[in-house]
A and B are shown apart, each in its own frame.
Chain A
Amino acid sequence: MKRDQALQALARHYPDGIVVAVYQTAFDWMHIRPHDLNYLCTGAMGQASSHGLGLALGVPDEKVVVLDGDGSLLMNLGSLVTVANMAPRNFFHFVSQNNMYEVNGKYPIPAATTIKFDQMAIAAGYRYAFSFDDIGQFNSEIEGILDLEGPVLVCMHIEPGEFYPLDYATLHSEQTRVIFRNALKSRLQSHLQE
């Protein structure tokens, strides 16, 4: 399935929540679902799941979706164990698997043809894990998956879709961090008033 199709499906069912996104998926996501609760400041490759875990533990009443990459997750595989150990029920870990370092020259990841992130997640202790390569099936199951108790991992076998520009300036800007911080503060205050 194409990445933009998968992200559009996710955005339809998750229009308003916290999302931690990395690299090409982040560039796509910024256009597909522009939102103040997009957390883009992961800083160092591989760290998305760890940022997501901190957010999930810090705001347990909010869902946190992590849009990770295969090469990125390989740099921080231990985080699967760390996440599983803390077992945040609001943690949803999506991994775009295209078997390559897409923004770093499209060089293949190690064990590209054999690696199975969903099985790794279950072995680490995630509550649920899924793997999709068909957009129709992904479309029909994504809503139910987002209603599950986390931690959940969803491996999306994807190929590039529409091209979105590599906007590193926005990714790393202080303004992006300020916007997220203020948006999260507002969200938490609105919870207190409910």
Chain B
Amino acid sequence: MTLPIKGASIIKAFEDAGIQSIVALPDIVTCDTVLWPLSSNPNFMFIPVCKEDEGVSICASLSFCGQRALLLIQHTGFLDSINAIRAIAVEYQLPVVMVVGLQGSDPDTHPNQSKSIGIRALAPICDALELCYAFITDEESAISIVEMIETAYENSSPCAIFVPNPPV
């Protein structure tokens, strides 16, 4: 039996991957167990933004300074930021790491079969953009968060880490 992923495990994965800055806009899926603890964690510079595409640019420009940052948002904000993701993260090949909560996701249904078109469309959009992505649901997948972040920064390429269910 797989255990649902813990918020603490996600935060530890960020630390293990060398993330220094968290750029964020509240997302209902990750707010309680990831965003709130992160926002008071002295190991990170916390940068709240008003709109998600700001965060794409902030993460991109921090990478030029040799710093690792991560954008924590909701999937609606991901959809709203597609042009910035396309231009800045994908076309410029910059290490923009996005951790994206899927608001309204049904825990018993894979996101690719979701009744919500906004959730169902995420994988095809990432495929079309040639954007690396994964759905993170259980404790065992925490290690893949570290791997995806490491790969993003080693290869200077973006990635999206989707979190369908509220971490415990």
Binding site for B on A (CB under 8 A): 20, 39, 41-44, 46-47, 50-55, 57-59, 76, 78-79, 81-82, 85-86, 172, 174, 177, 180-181, 184-185, 188
Contact = CB atoms under 8 A, between A and B. Distances in A.
B53 interface: yes
A172 B64 CA distance: 15
B32 interface: no
Given A43-B88, A50-B58, A58-B67, 17 more contacts: A42-B57, A44-B84, A44-B88, A47-B53, A47-B54, A47-B84, A50-B53, A51-B61, A53-B57, A54-B57, A54-B60, A54-B69, A55-B62, A55-B64, A57-B21, A76-B53, A79-B54
Contacts of A184: 64-65
Contacts of A177: 64, 92
A181 B92 CA distance: 13
Contact of B59 (A54, A59, A185): A54
Given A57-B47, A58-B65, A58-B67, A43 B57 contact: yes
Interface of B: 21, 45, 47-51, 53-62, 64-67, 69, 83-84, 86-88, 91-93
A172 B87 CA distance: 9
B92 A50 contact: no
Nearest to A80: B50
Contacts of B57: 42-44, 47, 50-51, 53-54
Given A43-B57, A85-B48, A185 B87 contact: no
Nearest to A46: B53
A78 B58 contact: no
B56 to A, nearest CB: 8
A18 B159 CA distance: 28
Residue among B45, B51, B86 having the largest count of chain A Cβ atoms under 10 Å: B51
Contacts of A78: 49-51, 54
A46 B54 CA distance: 9
Nearest to B61: A54
B162 to A, nearest CB: 22
Given A54-B58, A181-B64, A43 B92 contact: yes
19 contacts: A41-B92, A42-B57, A43-B87, A44-B88, A47-B54, A47-B57, A50-B61, A54-B65, A57-B47, A58-B66, A59-B65, A76-B54, A79-B49, A79-B54, A81-B50, A82-B49, A172-B91, A185-B66, A188-B65
